[in-house]
Chains A and B, each alone.
Chain A
Amino acid sequence: MVQDLLKPDAGGLYCAAGDFWIDPLQPVPRAVITHAHADHARSGSGAYHVARAGLPVFRQRIGKENDLESYDYGENFELGNTRVTLFPAGHILGSATVRVESDLGTWGVSGDFKRDADPTCDGFQAYDCDVWLTECTFGLPVYRWPATGEVIAQIQQWWQECAADSRPAVLFCYALGKAQRVLCELGRDELPGRIWLHGAMQPLTRCYRDQGIPLPDTRAVSEADKGEKYAGDLILAPPSAAGSPWMKRFGRHSSGFVSGWMRIRGNRRRRGYDRGFVLSDHADWPGLVETAADMRARRVITIHGDGSALAGFLREHGLAAESWNLRETLKPA
């Protein structure tokens, strides 16, 4: 049996031929990082290799003092006995998939990716590989995204209804990526009111602006006047702020959550949001299946998320498919 080029290790993947890790969750000597979300990028490793477009966000998240190498998309670099190339993943600004070429074949590794267009980052780029390691966050066919324009129109309409009622509209979304994508999409049209940001979103949004991504004007909630009513305004906040004392300042408001999870009604009702907007930075089921085909890999391995259904489905369609659990390789601290 041919040896695998990559194997699960340290919560990520280890490449012995190149002596490096991809997205390790524990400190390692040399790491290739697909993107700056905390479940992929952690501080404490020796050297980091990232996509150039992701550098500012990465620095913001991990710190400036690290040993950081950055590369253009499509630019090759050698690590040990392998040749590594980063390609745009379409997930968030600076996100990448990793192609590793070696004597053991060519492997493609997704961090997270999506196939829908996103004005805040380069679109996903497919390439041929022997083995495709795919994320599988939304690995069931019920996860099928509506057109982005439709969802943005729903958000606008909801905001307008709130504005007509002089109520604040509080929209929960992830602070890195989703918030900026929503801002950018909303900014293409006339806005019914002002937009405020939770503190956790301020520096990240600044990173996006600094890289020339057009975003509408925003204000910081932390700098609001005492007694500000936020009537008819939109407030973006991370999901962790929901139900916290921080929310008290908005009084009678309507709440919404932008996430692929909102595709399922029970997910929204359980969390108690008024509205759920189905917009994700991950591939939906058709996206996962199509990408597996587009990469022309004969073998597909799911990582991140419950991949048993996707792997089973791909096997029925003649591919060698299996699921790897990267978390199991975390060593007790």
Chain B
Amino acid sequence: MERFARLYDRLDGTTSTNARVAAMVAYFRDVPAADGAWAVWCLTGRRLKRLVPSRSLRQWGAEAAGLPDWLLETSYQHVGDLAETLNLLAPGPEQAAPAPPLHRLIEERIRPLARLDERDKRREVLTAWRELAGTERFLYNKLLTGALRVGVSRRLVTRALAELAGIDSGLMAHRLMGDWQPTPEFFAQLLADEADADLDISRPYPFFLASPLESEPAELGPAGQWRAEWKWDGIRAQLIRRGGETFLWSRGEERLDGRFPEFEAAAEALPDGTVLDGEIMAWRDGPLPFAVLQRRIGRKKPGPKTLQSAPTAFLAYDLLECGGRDLREAPLDERSGRLEGLLEELAAERLFRPEPVDFADWDDLPALRATSRERGVEGLMLKATESPYRVGRKRGDWWKWKVEPYTFDGVLLYAQPGHGRRSGLFTDYTFAVHHDGGLVPVAKAYSGLTQKEIEELDRWIRSHTTDRFGPVRAVEPVQVFELAFEGLTRSARHKSGIAMRFPRIHRWRRDLSVADADTLAQLERLLPAEAGPA
């Protein structure tokens, strides 16, 4: 894995995007296919699951370093990355054996860990720590603890591979979608310069993502060249019918097949060679809150009770493949027309095409958008009628125009150190509102402050800590922040009785004192009238 470790060093040793792409191109050009396949697998953020519990790693790490457990925990809190902490603490390698090639390390030393019992796992991991050094040991730990995020996005890896193969990056993105095994054959196919013939039938297309609209819609040009749709608050997904089978992929490229029998059954009637892009929604005569859908996400085999209390539907808004033909280059209007015909014929109750939003003029839209919350949607999507279905987040053709978020003023109550780039800084905050003469926590937020504010707040937290619970610091309730969020649902799991959707910090309100912060009662008014089944 020495070669891969040097690639990592080069990627990590520059902040320049071009230099990173060049480093990857150089690496993939010469790397043996067996290693290359695993490198692609690692760099695109895939992970080996359930190898060794983190708790065991920490215990062995303390043991190997000759340190008490508490000191390893304190170190981990400081570093913010377990793989790195273990690498920094482990003693220098005793016998500096050359590290095996990446594919052998993973296939022969790492993957088999899953099958070993605790004692053999321990022996194997401690041996590896003794044999590996520096970056190699760090990467080994990274593979044990999860995904290998190394400062290159999947988009960047795709760009490097496309450049090397001499093909379009959209095609490369497609080749990297779905289920594939990191084999030498896969790597060879990945870099093949001809079009795809024998892609696996389950493979989804890369999703086309909308960008947030930052100007007035009128600036997009004539309204007649645009289509408006409601922005649904569900899970973006592709529903694929090929070779007599149905496949359902989330945008995070997770296979969801079998979890949503209500519309998957309907999909069986779709003609072979059909790919729909749309949204999985919790649905009963209309949209239900996202929190209802959440109860379905983890359920591999939902029972009748769950199906009854949290029913779902697939709202198809695009047709990517029809009759086995890739339609992505066709204009949206054409795809949409065909989609309409296809689904009318299907006449399924839980697999349908939502009607686009009817509007004649840009001036009609603000009033419609203002009805978003009562309709249970997040706002509007604006799509150019002539737009092809592009790859990834390309600006220009698809825009999302969300409603303004709700906001409230909360008091900083607890802080915890962050991870990765934010390690060692207090960046994970808990905010509270007034209730019954005290403060009750209602939101955790991690984002929204500038680096400068984060650093300033970090210093403040350190000098105003009133109590410590492990890594968590309680601070004097003094600082007030304006937080934005997308919605509220009732929750028995939270002390406040409410769960907040996507809270984030809007502003540090230095002008406000604790007395100015909001109350729980004020927030509760925003709960949906029919308080979804809790």
Contacts and interface: CB of A to CB of B under 8 A. Distances in A.
B422 interface: yes
Interface string B133-148: 0000000000000000
Contacts of A270: 421-422, 425, 451
Contacts of A266: 79-81, 419-424
A269 B420 contact: yes
Contacts of B78: 140, 142, 264
Contacts of A141: 65, 67, 71, 75, 88-89
Nearest to A325: B463
B12 interface: yes
B84 A272 contact: no
Given A140-B74, A144-B88, A264-B79, A269 B151 contact: yes
A288 to B, nearest CB: 13
Contacts of B16: 274
B71 A313 contact: yes
A140 B420 CA distance: 18
A290 to B, nearest CB: 14
B89 A265 contact: no
A269 B14 contact: no
B71 A274 contact: no
A254 interface: yes
B421 A269 contact: yes
A274 B421 contact: no
A111 B4 CA distance: 43
Nearest to B77: A140
Interface in A275-299: 275
Contacts of B12: 265
B14 A267 contact: no
B68 interface: yes
A316 interface: yes
Given A140-B78, A142-B78, A309 B71 contact: yes
Contacts of B469: none
A254 B81 CA distance: 26
A272 B71 CA distance: 29
> Chain B interface mostly helix, strand, loop or mixed?
helix
Contacts of A312: 70-71
Contact of A275 (B13, B71, B451): B13
Nearest to B88: A142
Contacts of A263: 88
Nearest to A313: B71
B15 interface: yes
A142 B14 contact: no
Nearest to B62: A141
A142 B68 contact: no
B421 A142 contact: no
Interface in A240-283: 254-255, 263-267, 269-270, 272-275
B131 to A, nearest CB: 19
Interface string A127-145: 0000000000000111010
Interface in A121-173: 140-142, 144, 158
B454 to A, nearest CB: 9
B67 to A, nearest CB: 6
Contacts of A264: 78-79, 84, 88, 423-424
A316 B69 CA distance: 12
B424 A140 contact: no
A64 to B, nearest CB: 35
B356 to A, nearest CB: 44
B85 interface: yes
Contacts of A269: 151, 420-421
Contacts of A140: 71, 74-75, 78
A265 B421 CA distance: 8
A274 B89 contact: no
A25 to B, nearest CB: 16
Contacts of A275: 13
Contacts of A267: 423-424
> What are the 10 closest A-B residue pairs judged by CB atoms, nearest first?
A266-B423, A142-B88, A269-B421, A142-B75, A274-B14, A140-B75, A270-B421, A309-B74, A275-B13, A274-B15
15 contacts: A140-B74, A141-B75, A142-B78, A142-B89, A144-B88, A264-B88, A264-B423, A266-B420, A267-B424, A269-B421, A270-B451, A273-B15, A274-B13, A275-B13, A312-B70
